[in-house]
């Protein structure tokens, strides 16, 4: 009888408190007030969210990109235990490659207000995607989604209504329902399903998938499954866990650069190195 009671309590917690489990916004710390000093070309602005909630975003133009020479742009979505502040190195990597970046802070995280959910966050990213239409330095035919962990789910959900030119996901799960089932919680209790394994194969765009072979939070079988389901996907692994990917930033940059360079036959979307 006691095991059954414990299981029912666990299911109750999973159902009513899953928002705090999936979006642990109170455990990620405060924004870095000095981070933009290392990103001198970055514009911080308040995104015009549909419901008026103040959502903070960063836009960084790629080096040498302007209205005369527009280029690719990455929309980047971070993991659920991060802030946009934690991704300055990735922003600078793309900037050096001549690729612009747009980072959107999740609701309730960092400087953004509101409460996070799959629906509200994806809505904010849709507004961000539409905001990019105003940027003359962005080639609208080369908008690429790069999501880490939960961020992969956010951007693949966005892709259903706003398809990208290509997708990069790292340490990402097949679906949140699968993650629930991994912990013996029925998938139907999940209110934020993030059905990545359903969406990604249907997009029909170039895809790069990266995963740590020692990831115990989101097992590497999830990344391999996404790769197996997605025709033509490039699959790369690192000898690391979940939070320490990439252990070798030079290899990480090389994988991404090679992927971007191969995207179009008419010419690479990045500057030659």
Catalytic residue numbers? 149, 215, 242
Identify which of 224, 158, 232 has the alpha carbon closest to the alpha carbon of residue 197. Answer: 224
Per the CB < 8 A criterion, the answer to whether 7 and 185 are in contact is: no
CA distance 255 to 93: 12
What are φ and ψ of residue 227, in 5° steps? -65, -40
Give me the long-range contacts of 192-197 (CB less than 8 A, separation at least 24): 192/18, 192/19, 192/22, 192/117, 192/118, 193/118, 194/118, 194/150, 194/153, 194/154, 194/156, 194/157, 195/156, 195/157, 196/152, 196/153, 196/156, 196/169, 196/172, 196/226, 197/225, 197/226, 197/229
Query: CA quadruple 107, 56, 137, 146: dihedral positive or negative?
Result: negative
Is residue 187 within 8 Å of residue 178, measured between CB atoms?
Answer: yes
Rounded Cα distance, 22 and 118, in Å: 10
Distance between CA atoms of residues 225 and 170, nearest Å: 13
The percent helix, strand, coil of the chain (3-state, each to 5) is: 40, 20, 40
């Amino acid at each position: 009888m006691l095991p059954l009671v414990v299981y029912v309590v666990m299911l109750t917690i999973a159902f009513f408190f899953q928002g705090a489990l999936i979006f642990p916004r109170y455990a990620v710390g405060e924004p870095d007030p000095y981070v933009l000093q290392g990103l001198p070309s970055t514009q911080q602005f308040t995104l015009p969210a549909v419901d008026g909630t103040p959502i903070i975003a960063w836009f960084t133009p790629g080096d040498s990109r302007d209205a005369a020479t527009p280029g690719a742009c990455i929309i980047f979505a971070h993991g659920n235990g991060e802030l946009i502040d934690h991704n300055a190195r990735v922003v600078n990597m793309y900037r050096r490659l001549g690729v612009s970046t747009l980072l959107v802070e999740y609701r309730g995280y960092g400087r953004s207000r509101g409460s996070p959910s799959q629906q509200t966050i994806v809505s904010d990213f849709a507004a961000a995607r539409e905001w990019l239409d105003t940027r003359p330095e962005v080639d609208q035919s080369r908008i690429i989604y790069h999501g880490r962990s939960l961020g992969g789910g956010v951007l693949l959900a966005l892709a259903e209504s706003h398809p990208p030119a290509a997708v990069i996901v790292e340490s990402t799960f097949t679906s949140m329902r699968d993650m629930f089932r991994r912990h013996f919680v029925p998938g139907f209790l999940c209110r934020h399903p993030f059905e990545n394994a359903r969406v990604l194969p249907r997009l029909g765009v170039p895809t790069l998938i990266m995963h740590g072979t020692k990831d115990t939070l989101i097992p590497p079988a999830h990344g391999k499954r996404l790769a197996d389901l997605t025709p033509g996907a490039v699959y790369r692994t690192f000898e690391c866990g979940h939070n320490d990917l990439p252990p070798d930033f030079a290899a990480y940059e090389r994988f991404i650069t090679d992927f971007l360079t191969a995207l179009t036959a008419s010419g690479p979307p990045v500057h030659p190195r």
